[in-house]
Amino acid sequence: MKNIKSIVVALLVAAGIIGFNSCDVTNISDVILQITVDFDPIFEDKMVPDSSIDFTDLNDYETYRDNKDKIEDATILHFNYRIDELRTENNMDIDSIVFESVNFYLIPTTFNGSRIPGQRYKLGEFKNLHVSDYYKTAKHIIEVPSELGNLISEQIKKSPYFVVVTEYSGLVGENVDNKFDYIKSHMDMVLRIRTN
Protein backbone atom coordinates (compact mmCIF):
# COMPACT_ATOMS: atom_id res chain seq x y z
CA MET A 1 0.00 0.00 0.00
CA LYS A 2 2.84 2.39 0.90
CA ASN A 3 4.54 1.73 -2.45
CA ILE A 4 1.34 2.47 -4.32
CA LYS A 5 0.95 5.76 -2.44
CA SER A 6 4.55 6.69 -3.21
CA ILE A 7 3.94 6.01 -6.89
CA VAL A 8 0.73 8.10 -6.80
CA VAL A 9 2.57 10.98 -5.13
CA ALA A 10 5.40 10.74 -7.68
CA LEU A 11 2.86 10.79 -10.51
CA LEU A 12 1.15 13.84 -9.02
CA VAL A 13 4.44 15.70 -8.78
CA ALA A 14 5.34 14.71 -12.34
CA ALA A 15 1.93 15.84 -13.63
CA GLY A 16 2.43 19.16 -11.88
CA ILE A 17 5.86 19.71 -13.37
CA ILE A 18 4.62 18.83 -16.86
CA GLY A 19 1.55 21.00 -16.45
CA PHE A 20 3.44 24.09 -15.36
CA ASN A 21 6.18 23.65 -17.93
CA SER A 22 3.57 23.66 -20.70
CA CYS A 23 2.63 27.30 -20.11
CA ASP A 24 3.09 29.49 -23.17
CA VAL A 25 3.76 32.61 -21.16
CA THR A 26 6.69 33.76 -23.26
CA ASN A 27 4.57 33.83 -26.45
CA ILE A 28 2.18 36.38 -25.07
CA SER A 29 4.76 39.14 -24.91
CA ASP A 30 4.74 39.11 -28.74
CA VAL A 31 2.10 41.53 -29.96
CA ILE A 32 0.68 40.93 -33.41
CA LEU A 33 -0.91 43.88 -35.15
CA GLN A 34 -2.56 44.17 -38.49
CA ILE A 35 -2.22 47.41 -40.40
CA THR A 36 -3.90 48.46 -43.58
CA VAL A 37 -1.88 50.15 -46.28
CA ASP A 38 -3.62 51.76 -49.22
CA PHE A 39 -2.49 52.75 -52.70
CA ASP A 40 -4.10 54.87 -55.38
CA PRO A 41 -2.20 54.00 -58.54
CA ILE A 42 -3.14 56.30 -61.43
CA PHE A 43 -2.94 55.04 -64.98
CA GLU A 44 -3.06 58.20 -67.04
CA ASP A 45 -3.12 58.95 -70.73
CA LYS A 46 -1.63 55.64 -71.83
CA MET A 47 -2.35 52.70 -74.09
CA VAL A 48 -2.74 49.25 -72.63
CA PRO A 49 -0.88 46.98 -72.14
CA ASP A 50 1.04 49.12 -69.70
CA SER A 51 1.45 49.66 -65.95
CA SER A 52 0.73 52.11 -63.19
CA ILE A 53 3.06 52.52 -60.25
CA ASP A 54 2.48 53.72 -56.71
CA PHE A 55 5.30 54.35 -54.21
CA THR A 56 4.82 53.53 -50.53
CA ASP A 57 6.81 54.50 -47.47
CA LEU A 58 5.52 52.54 -44.48
CA ASN A 59 6.78 55.36 -42.25
CA ASP A 60 3.67 57.22 -43.34
CA TYR A 61 1.66 54.83 -41.18
CA GLU A 62 1.55 55.62 -37.48
CA THR A 63 1.30 52.00 -36.35
CA TYR A 64 4.42 51.13 -38.34
CA ARG A 65 6.33 54.16 -37.05
CA ASP A 66 5.44 53.37 -33.45
CA ASN A 67 6.62 49.79 -33.74
CA LYS A 68 9.35 49.78 -36.37
CA ASP A 69 12.20 49.24 -33.91
CA LYS A 70 10.49 46.16 -32.50
CA ILE A 71 9.28 44.45 -35.67
CA GLU A 72 10.14 40.77 -35.91
CA ASP A 73 8.31 40.24 -39.16
CA ALA A 74 5.90 42.09 -41.40
CA THR A 75 3.91 39.86 -43.71
CA ILE A 76 1.50 40.84 -46.46
CA LEU A 77 -1.65 38.79 -45.93
CA HIS A 78 -4.05 39.88 -48.64
CA PHE A 79 -5.29 42.88 -50.59
CA ASN A 80 -8.36 44.19 -52.27
CA TYR A 81 -8.35 45.83 -55.67
CA ARG A 82 -11.05 48.02 -57.09
CA ILE A 83 -11.52 50.62 -59.80
CA ASP A 84 -12.92 53.96 -58.67
CA GLU A 85 -12.94 55.82 -61.99
CA LEU A 86 -12.06 55.00 -65.59
CA ARG A 87 -12.35 56.74 -68.92
CA THR A 88 -11.19 55.75 -72.38
CA GLU A 89 -10.32 58.16 -75.10
CA ASN A 90 -13.64 57.55 -76.85
CA ASN A 91 -15.79 57.13 -73.75
CA MET A 92 -16.21 53.40 -74.10
CA ASP A 93 -18.97 51.97 -71.90
CA ILE A 94 -17.38 50.38 -68.83
CA ASP A 95 -19.67 47.36 -69.12
CA SER A 96 -17.89 46.42 -72.30
CA ILE A 97 -14.31 46.81 -71.03
CA VAL A 98 -12.64 43.50 -70.18
CA PHE A 99 -8.91 43.15 -69.51
CA GLU A 100 -7.33 39.80 -70.37
CA SER A 101 -5.57 40.08 -67.01
CA VAL A 102 -4.37 42.52 -64.39
CA ASN A 103 -1.19 41.57 -62.51
CA PHE A 104 0.13 43.04 -59.29
CA TYR A 105 3.81 43.23 -58.34
CA LEU A 106 5.69 44.54 -55.33
CA ILE A 107 9.18 45.91 -55.96
CA PRO A 108 11.37 47.01 -53.03
CA THR A 109 13.02 50.38 -53.44
CA THR A 110 15.32 52.78 -51.70
CA PHE A 111 13.92 55.81 -49.89
CA ASN A 112 13.89 57.83 -53.10
CA GLY A 113 11.98 55.21 -55.05
CA SER A 114 14.95 53.65 -56.89
CA ARG A 115 14.23 50.00 -57.48
CA ILE A 116 16.44 47.41 -55.83
CA PRO A 117 17.77 45.29 -58.70
CA GLY A 118 16.71 41.68 -59.02
CA GLN A 119 13.74 41.90 -56.68
CA ARG A 120 10.21 41.76 -58.02
CA TYR A 121 7.46 39.82 -56.31
CA LYS A 122 4.21 38.91 -58.02
CA LEU A 123 1.44 39.38 -55.47
CA GLY A 124 -1.36 37.98 -57.62
CA GLU A 125 -3.51 38.49 -60.66
CA PHE A 126 -7.06 38.77 -61.87
CA LYS A 127 -7.86 37.16 -65.20
CA ASN A 128 -10.62 38.21 -67.57
CA LEU A 129 -11.29 41.30 -65.47
CA HIS A 130 -14.67 42.86 -66.25
CA VAL A 131 -14.29 46.48 -65.19
CA SER A 132 -17.95 46.85 -64.22
CA ASP A 133 -17.55 44.03 -61.71
CA TYR A 134 -14.61 45.79 -60.03
CA TYR A 135 -16.19 49.24 -59.94
CA LYS A 136 -16.21 50.53 -56.34
CA THR A 137 -16.65 47.14 -54.70
CA ALA A 138 -14.81 45.50 -51.82
CA LYS A 139 -15.19 41.92 -52.94
CA HIS A 140 -12.06 41.25 -55.02
CA ILE A 141 -9.54 40.03 -52.50
CA ILE A 142 -6.31 38.21 -53.29
CA GLU A 143 -4.60 36.19 -50.57
CA VAL A 144 -0.82 36.42 -50.79
CA PRO A 145 0.79 32.96 -50.40
CA SER A 146 2.54 32.68 -47.05
CA GLU A 147 5.88 31.72 -48.66
CA LEU A 148 5.81 34.91 -50.70
CA GLY A 149 4.58 36.90 -47.72
CA ASN A 150 7.56 35.67 -45.70
CA LEU A 151 10.00 36.58 -48.49
CA ILE A 152 8.59 40.08 -48.68
CA SER A 153 8.65 40.30 -44.88
CA GLU A 154 12.42 39.87 -44.88
CA GLN A 155 12.67 42.73 -47.37
CA ILE A 156 10.28 45.02 -45.50
CA LYS A 157 12.30 44.53 -42.33
CA LYS A 158 15.34 45.87 -44.19
CA SER A 159 13.55 48.71 -45.94
CA PRO A 160 10.04 50.15 -45.56
CA TYR A 161 10.01 51.47 -49.14
CA PHE A 162 8.44 49.73 -52.10
CA VAL A 163 6.35 50.30 -55.19
CA VAL A 164 3.27 48.40 -56.18
CA VAL A 165 2.94 47.91 -59.91
CA THR A 166 -0.45 47.29 -61.49
CA GLU A 167 0.12 45.78 -64.89
CA TYR A 168 -2.83 46.02 -67.28
CA SER A 169 -2.93 43.61 -70.22
CA GLY A 170 -4.60 44.30 -73.52
CA LEU A 171 -8.37 44.26 -73.74
CA VAL A 172 -10.52 41.32 -74.74
CA GLY A 173 -12.27 41.70 -78.09
CA GLU A 174 -11.67 43.41 -81.38
CA ASN A 175 -12.01 47.08 -82.28
CA VAL A 176 -11.68 48.06 -78.64
CA ASP A 177 -10.48 51.39 -77.39
CA ASN A 178 -6.95 50.75 -76.01
CA LYS A 179 -6.23 54.34 -75.05
CA PHE A 180 -7.23 55.34 -71.54
CA ASP A 181 -7.48 58.92 -70.34
CA TYR A 182 -7.15 57.53 -66.86
CA ILE A 183 -7.81 54.53 -64.64
CA LYS A 184 -8.10 55.54 -61.04
CA SER A 185 -7.87 52.39 -58.97
CA HIS A 186 -7.44 51.67 -55.28
CA MET A 187 -5.76 48.90 -53.34
CA ASP A 188 -6.11 48.16 -49.65
CA MET A 189 -3.43 45.83 -48.37
CA VAL A 190 -3.38 44.14 -44.97
CA LEU A 191 -0.01 43.57 -43.29
CA ARG A 192 0.60 41.48 -40.21
CA ILE A 193 3.28 42.98 -37.98
CA ARG A 194 4.73 40.95 -35.16
CA THR A 195 6.60 42.91 -32.52
CA ASN A 196 8.49 41.79 -29.47
Partner 1 sequence: MNKVILLLIGITISVAFSFDAKADFNKDGVLEVPGDFNLFTSKNLQGYTKPLFTTIGQGAQSNLFTVASYDESYSIGIDLSLSSTLIPGSQQVYDAVLPAAFGDTTIMDNAIYQNGKIVRNISGTVEQPTIYGGASNAIYVVAPVQGGDPADSIYKTIAFNEGTNITTMASLPAFQLVFGLPTRTELRFRFLGAPIDDEMYSHLAISANQQLDHWMDLFNEEDDMALALNASYQFMTLAETIDMNSWSVGLHFSKGFGDGFSLYGGLQIEDLSGTFNMVRQNGYQAEYYQEDGITLKSRSAISTEQQLNYDAHVAARKNVETNPYEEVRLLKPLSFDIETFTNWRFTVGASYEFGIMDLHLDMGYASQMFLNGGIRLRFKEWVDNDEVTE
Residues that bind partner 1 (CB under 8 A): 1-2, 5, 8-9, 12-13, 15-16, 19-20, 22-25, 27-36, 38, 40, 62-63, 66-67, 70, 77-78, 80, 82, 84, 136-139, 141, 143, 186, 188, 190, 192, 195-196
d(CA 2, CA 25): 37
Smallest separation (angstroms) from partner 1 to the CB of 50: 24
Phi, psi of 49 (to 5 degrees): -75, 140
Q: Which residues neighbour 1 within 8 Å (Cβ) at sequence distance 6 or greater?
A: none
Smallest separation (angstroms) from partner 1 to the CB of 146: 11
Closer CB to partner 1, residue 68 or residue 115? Answer: 68
Closer CB to partner 1, residue 60 or residue 89? Answer: 60
Q: Which residues neighbour 20 within 8 Å (Cβ) at sequence distance 6 or greater?
A: none
What are the C-alpha distances in Å from 177 to residues 5, 134, 153, 194? 88, 19, 39, 46
Closer CB to partner 1, residue 77 or residue 98? Answer: 77
